Structures are given as C-alpha cells and as structure tokens.
C-alpha cells in the first residue's frame, strides 16, 4: 500500500480550510491539472489567466481525486470531498510552506539562472540518487504555482530536495526562495533574457541574486565564476551571510574544470570539486552542460552525497525533449539527426545549442542545419541580439539556416547568401520549405522560444523521414 503524503486533516489545518470529509482520508499528492491527476491526489483549483481550475473540479473528482481544494464561493457539491478556502493559490502556498517546515532532515538545493535551470536540476536529481532519496521539481515547475506545488508534493522523509526557481520580473524569485528555504543555491548564469521587463543585464543579475534571500543560516551560494556578473552576485550572497563557491574554468574557482574532451553525444571531464579531483563522463553533449556539472557536483558534495557516485551517475544523463534530445534516423540514403531544442530560447541558450550542433562529426553528417525561431521577451535589443547570432553560426560551422519570425528575419538578412536556406513569417509556413530541402546526411537542430511554436517542426521532420527508416 502506498503511504499517504498527506491526510485530509493535515490539508485542512495547513490551508485553514473547511471540509466535512473524514479527516483520516489519505492523499497521495497534489495536482492542478485534471488531465494528469492520479487517483488519490488532491486537485487544487487554481484560477489562471487563461482558464479557471474550478471548471474542472467535477472531472477531477470523477477521475478519483481524494479531494478538491476550492474557493469558498464554489457552488455546493460533494462536501465530503471539497476543501473550501479563501483563495486556492494562497492555499497552495500554505501547503508548500507546511511541507518545507516538516522536512526537517532534508537537504534542500535551489537552482536558478538565465539558462540551464531545468537541465541542471535534472542532472542534480540523477547525481544525488545513489546517495539517498531525492524529490525534485517536475518538468519546469519553477513559477508562482509550480514551486509551491513541487514543495507540497515533497515527502516528509526524503534526504534531498531539488527545486528550480524561475522569473521574468524582479521580486518573483524573492517570494519563491523564501518558500523553498534552500541550504544551497545555484546560479547557473546571467544573460540578456526577459530584457523586455528589465532595464539592463545587471538588473537581471540582481533579480537572480534574490535566490540568496531565502538561504537557510549557514547556507552556500554556488555562482558561475566565468561570467562578468560573478562579483555582483557574490556581493549579494555575502550580504545574506552565505558561503561562496565559484564554479567554472577560472583556476581560482572552488569547483573548476581541469580538462575536457567534447563530443557529439557527451563529454569526458576532469575537474577539481572543492579540493577533490575527479574524472567523469557526461552522457549529454555541450560545453554548457560541462560547466553546470561543476556546480551540481559541488552542491552534491556540500549536501553530503558521495561525490564519486554522483559523478559516475552523470554518464546516464540524457538531453530532454525540447532541450537537446537527439533522434537518429537510419534511412536507405543515409543517416539523419534531428536535435530538438524547441522548448525555449534566449541568446545564451541559443549560442550553447549552436556550439553543440558544431560538435556534429563531418564524417557522419555532411551538413549542419539550424532551424531557428524568434527569441522572445528581449525588448528593443531583440533585433540586434538576433543579428549577433551570425557570429556563432559561423563559429559552429553551420552550413545552412532556416528561419522564421519577425526577429529572426534580422538574422537571416545578416547571413551570407550561401547560408540562407529559407525564411517564413511563422514556423507553420516554414515547414514545407524545410522538409523539401533537408534529408539524409543532415544534422538538423530546431530551436526557438516556446511562443515561436518550433516543436511541431520537430514532429513534422520525424513523421516525414522516420517513415523511411531502415537498417543502415
């Protein structure tokens, strides 16, 4: 029998709600999406900008929800299963706060940064597992509802808790980190992201440094030593009484790179982690992945995990869907690679993705193809930041670029004619031109902000060329 995560009584007490149900009713977890809710979960009816969760309460209960947390104004229903509260988002925060308070023996690690948050969180989960039980944020649950939801789902007896914290406005991380109350806080990098909401990259660094506001007394700040904003972040962390650990290629970083061999499917690394030299294999490619592995191994060691076991586990790291996952298609006319970077994009992650495409071996793939959609939320600097990608396309040895979106038009015009594949206003319009121009022998990387809708292009490529798959 699965041990309940909560009881109805505990939920009512934490949220200061009201319910007529049996107080001993077990609750196995929390969900805010009736489509993914598992039987025995509590459904939290969040009012969002596009839909109101209260419209899905009946569906959640039909699917076996143990209870539903609803506003007091919700119409009468199965009062045995309705927990009525003043505000459901406030209730979710209260559940997260209670879960964090009762996890008295859990080492908690929080991750933020302009790029690499989710990948670092997932790699940290993998690295910690050989040393004990791990609870980590699901998917990219890093915002004002994702963080408290992740906390509420944390078991009371777990050795490690790993939470991703994101933002696009100043002040957001401050609130979330005070919920998480980490012992260790990682800042992967600071880059020109969400410039539509910030006056400068320095302001972004200040917003990222809010993660130190919630550090537990005696906590540690793990900061990228190689970025221009290291000292700025360090000063913020010192102001909160944190111990500082730098990571990167700088020799004076407490977690620093000693040697690296980059490959299309992963990297071999030698590093010094807090005075301990260790060699390990990373199962996902990219110099940025290597960089962030230094931070997560430092966090693992500080959290009390076995460092050699943590490093060894990273051989099992794989790029995720939308974040570098590779599909290899063996067709009669040759091999193709489709690299799915479609989940999101900003200047830092775009440069990293292009550099990783540049690792593709020429002997295996004749052409490196970049399919690029707009990077959004960059404000007035958007056109310039897109044009500047031309330098990195050249550095990665990309042979041809297919582009879509108004901003990517700035890049397309900056490219030499020999590198221009095709341009369209939208990803949907680009699709037929792309599929008609690529084929076996190509390594194709697809990337853009979520709003650019690049993921359907990845699926279209798989459908078109996957049907031709045959043993090589």
Please answer whether residues 352 and 288 qualify as being in contact, where contact means their C-beta atoms are separated by less than 8 angstroms: yes
Segments of the chain assigned to CATH 3.90.190.20: 325-466
Cα–Cα distance for residue pair 182/162, rounded to 1 Å: 9
Is the model's pLDDT at 469 over the cut of 60?
no
- Contacts of residue 243, Cβ cutoff 8 Å, sequence gap at least 6: 218, 219, 220, 221
- Provide the pLDDT for residue 466: 79
Tokens of 165: 């914290």
Q: What is the pLDDT of residue 255?
A: 98
What is the predicted pLDDT for the residue at 82?
97
**Predicted confidence (pLDDT) per residue in 105-124, tens digit:** 999 999 999 999 999 999 99
Residue 242 DSSP one-character state = P
- The secondary element (H helix, E strand) that includes residue 164 is strand 160-164
| Per-residue pLDDT reduced to its tens digit, 151-209 | 999 999 999 999 999 998 999 999 999 999 999 999 999 988 877 788 899 999 999 99
CATH topology of domain 103-316: 3.40.1190
Query: 404: part of which helix (H) or strand (E)?
Result: strand 400-404
pLDDT, one tens digit per residue, over 209-251 is 999 999 999 999 999 999 999 999 999 999 999 999 999 999 9
Per-residue pLDDT at 192? 87
DSSP assignment of 337-379, as one string?
Answer: EEEEE-S---HHHHHHHHHHHTTS-TTT-SEEEEEE-PPPS-G
**In the CATH hierarchy, which fold is given to the domain comprising 325-466?**
3.90.190
Q: Which of 114, 146, 101, 125 is nearest to 299 (CA)?
A: 125
H or E stretch at 308: helix 307-313
| Cross-strand pairs, 247 | 224, 255
Distances (CA, A) of 218 to 224, 228, 238, 294, 429: 20, 26, 11, 21, 54
Q: What pLDDT, in 10s, does the model give residues 31-84?
A: 999 999 999 999 999 998 888 999 999 999 999 999 999 999 999 999 999 999
Residue pLDDT, tens place only, 406-462: 999 999 999 999 999 999 999 999 999 999 999 999 999 999 999 999 999 999 999
The boundaries of every CATH 3.40.1190.10 domain in the chain are 103-316
Backbone phi, then psi, for 52, in 5-degree steps?
A: -110, 120
Separation CA 347–CA 382 (nearest Å): 10
Q: pLDDT tens for residues 241-291? A: 999 999 999 999 999 999 999 999 999 999 999 999 999 999 999 999 999
pLDDT for the residue 2: 61
* Residue in the structure block whose two tokens are 């593709």: 360
Cα gap 376→100, rounded to integer Å: 34
pTM exceeding 0.85: yes
Every domain of the chain with CATH number 3.40.1390.10 lies at 6-87
Give the pLDDT mean for 313-337.
Answer: 90
6-87: CATH number: 3.40.1390.10
């Amino acid at each position: 029998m699965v041990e309940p995560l909560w009881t109805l009584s505990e939920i009512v007490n934490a949220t200061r709600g009201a319910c007529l149900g049996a107080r001993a009713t077990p609750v196995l977890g929390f969900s805010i999406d009736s489509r993914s809710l598992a039987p025995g979960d509590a459904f939290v009816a969040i009012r969002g900008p596009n839909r109101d969760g209260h419209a899905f309460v009946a569906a959640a209960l039909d699917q076996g929800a143990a209870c539903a947390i609803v506003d007091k104004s919700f119409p009468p229903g199965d009062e045995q299963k309705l927990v009525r509260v003043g505000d459901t988002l406030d209730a979710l925060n209260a559940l997260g706060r209670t879960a964090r308070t009762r996890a008295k023996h859990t080492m908690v690690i929080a991750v933020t940064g302009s790029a690499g948050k989710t990948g670092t969180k997932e790699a940290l989960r993998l690295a910690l597992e050989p040393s004990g039980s791990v609870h980590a944020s699901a998917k990219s649950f890093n915002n004002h509802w994702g963080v408290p939801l992740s906390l509420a789902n944390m078991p009371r007896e777990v050795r490690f808790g790993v939470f991703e914290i994101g933002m696009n406005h100043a002040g957001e991380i401050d609130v979330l980190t005070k919920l998480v109350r980490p012992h260790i806080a990682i800042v992967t990098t600071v880059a020109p992201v969400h410039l539509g909401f910030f006056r400068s990259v320095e302001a972004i660094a200040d917003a990222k440094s809010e993660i130190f506001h919630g550090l537990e007394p005696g906590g540690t700040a793990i900061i990228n030593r190689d970025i221009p904003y290291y000292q700025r972040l360090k000063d913020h962390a010192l102001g909160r009484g944190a111990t500082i650990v730098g990571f990167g290629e700088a020799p004076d970083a407490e977690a620093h790179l000693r040697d690296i061999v980059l490959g299309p499917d992963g990297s071999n690394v030698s590093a010094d982690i807090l005075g301990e030299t260790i060699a390990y294999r990373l199962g996902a490619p990219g110099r940025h992945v290597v960089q962030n592995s230094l931070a997560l191994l430092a966090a693992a060691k500080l959290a009390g995990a076995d460092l050699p076991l943590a490093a060894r586990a990273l051989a099992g790291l794989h790029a995720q869907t939308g974040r570098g996952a590779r599909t290899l298609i063996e067709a009669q006319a040759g091999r193709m690679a489709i690299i799915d970077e479609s989940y999101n994009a900003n200047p830092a992650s775009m440069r990293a993705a292009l550099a990783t495409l540049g690792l593709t071996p020429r002997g295996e793939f004749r052409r490196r193809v970049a399919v690029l959609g707009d990077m959004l939320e960059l404000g007035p600097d958007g056109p310039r930041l897109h044009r500047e990608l031309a330098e990195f396309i050249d550095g990665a040895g990309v042979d041809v670029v297919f582009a879509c979106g108004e901003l990517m038009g700035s890049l397309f015009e900056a490219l030499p004619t020999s590198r221009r594949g095709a341009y369209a206003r939208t990803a949907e319009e680009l699709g037929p031109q792309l599929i008609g121009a690529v084929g076996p022998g190509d390594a194709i990387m697809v990337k853009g902000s979520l709003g650019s809708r690049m993921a359907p292009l990845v699926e279209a490529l798989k459908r078109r060329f996957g049907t031709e798959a045959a043993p090589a």
